[in-house]
Amino acid sequence: MEEAIAGRLKALKEKYAASGQELLDFLDGLLEADYLTYWDYIRLDSLLSLQQPRTSHHDEPIFIMYHQITELYFKLVLHELEPLLTSSANQEVVTEAIRRSNRYFGALEHSFGVMVDGMDREQFLRFRMALIPASGFQSGQYRMIELASAKLNDLVHIDNREKLANELDTEVLMNHIYWLRGATIEKDGQKTLTLVQFEQKYGEEFLKRAKRSQGHTISEQAARWHAEGSLSDALKQELRAFDQYVNVLWPLQHYRSAVRYLAKQPSDARATGGTNWQKYLPPRFQKRIFFPYLWSQQEVDDWGKSFVDRYVSSV
Ligand code: HEM
């Protein structure tokens, strides 16, 4: 028998013996097993069966698939951010994770034309009526990215942010989280059905995550390095770019699609989730900022007004 094969067999025998297993049984299993195929490995048939339109409009699958693509990118971002919340990661590790996350958000920002220009407006306006009250507002992963990145106090609605700047109770802070305002009917304070359903599905999970990551969010970790003067230029640059991608550039592209399809409708308020989206979606009104200590007062004042600092050149 070839020396290399004999060596591997010996190593395998030791591996299985260590857990009380017989190598021979595993070799028999190997003889029976089929070759792995591409389509089985990536679960292609399942993936391609996940598009289930509610109407027969040609463009509805585009809408479904682009949302699914976006959720997969969100999952990639969370795949990078979540390990940072539990371990005491060093700056190089955080820099690489945020660099990857920026690459994913960059892909989303650049591909948003699939929504903005890629569907027939008349068809969109028809098939969306079959989707009420579902809305991208209910994307749990989008909020999980925010909860992992920002200090919870910085996700409080801008009207109460200053007042609750030093509040430590996560439940109090979650009761003032910015997105409630986007799905609450202004005149009577009632929650929209979109929000009620969203809270039923994710409310507990969000609170659990907020509690778990308090003090360890990306922002709070970086703030400590910033305060002690050790925050590297490379990490600072990636964090600023991330803040721009998540809180300005992606929201602006997203807002463009709302304007293209929903503006000048008899009633703009009839967004699928029922928000007054004209007031809610523009980043300049919300001023969501993950890393406020990395921006000058002028930059904060100008937040979301244009594609300022597009390439985040000054660190
Ligand atoms: C034609 C395309 C789109 C239009 C017209 C649109 C419209 C809207 C509107 C009007 C809202 C406000 C909530 C509501 O009343 O429904 C909203 C929220 C939201 N949508 Fe979209 N959307 C589009 C595509 C997408 C895509 C592809 C995603 C990806 C997951 C997405 C994710 C979100 C998120 C995360 C929010 C909450 C934003 C926030 O709270 O600031 N949307 N969308």
Span 104-145, pLDDT tens digits? 999 999 999 999 999 999 999 999 999 999 999 999 999 999
Q: What is the pLDDT of residue 315?
A: 30
Ligand 1 first shell, C-beta below 6 A: 66-67, 70, 115, 135-137, 139, 142, 179, 182, 254, 257-258, 261-262, 271-275, 277, 281
Q: What is the pLDDT of residue 269?
A: 42
Q: What is the pLDDT of residue 230?
A: 97
> Which residues does the chain have with pLDDT short of 70?
87, 265-275, 306-315
Q: Determine the Cα–Cα distance for residues 300 and 286; give it in Å rounded to an integer.
A: 11
Q: What is the pLDDT of residue 189?
A: 84
pTM of this prediction?
A: 0.93
DSSP 109-150: HHHTHHHHTSS-HHHHHHHGGGTTT--GGG-HHHHHHHHHHS
Q: What is the pLDDT of residue 8?
A: 96
From 129, 137, 139, give the residue whose CB has the most ligand 1 atoms within 8 Å, as the site to mutate: 137
Q: Determine the Cα–Cα distance for residues 98 and 223; give it in Å rounded to an integer.
A: 15
Q: Determine the Cα–Cα distance for residues 226 and 116; give it in Å rounded to an integer.
A: 38
Q: Ligand 1 centroid vs 271 CA: distance in angstroms?
A: 9
Ligand 1 atom with the shortest distance to the CA of 281: 41
Q: What are the structural domains, with CATH classification, of the chain?
A: 3-33 (no CATH), 60-301 (1.20.58)
Q: What is the pLDDT of residue 267?
A: 59
Q: What is the pLDDT of residue 86?
A: 81
Q: Ligand 1 centroid vs 132 CA: distance in angstroms?
A: 13
Q: What is the pLDDT of residue 278?
A: 87
Ligand 1 atom with the shortest distance to the CA of 142: 35
Ligand 1 atom with the shortest distance to the CA of 71: 30
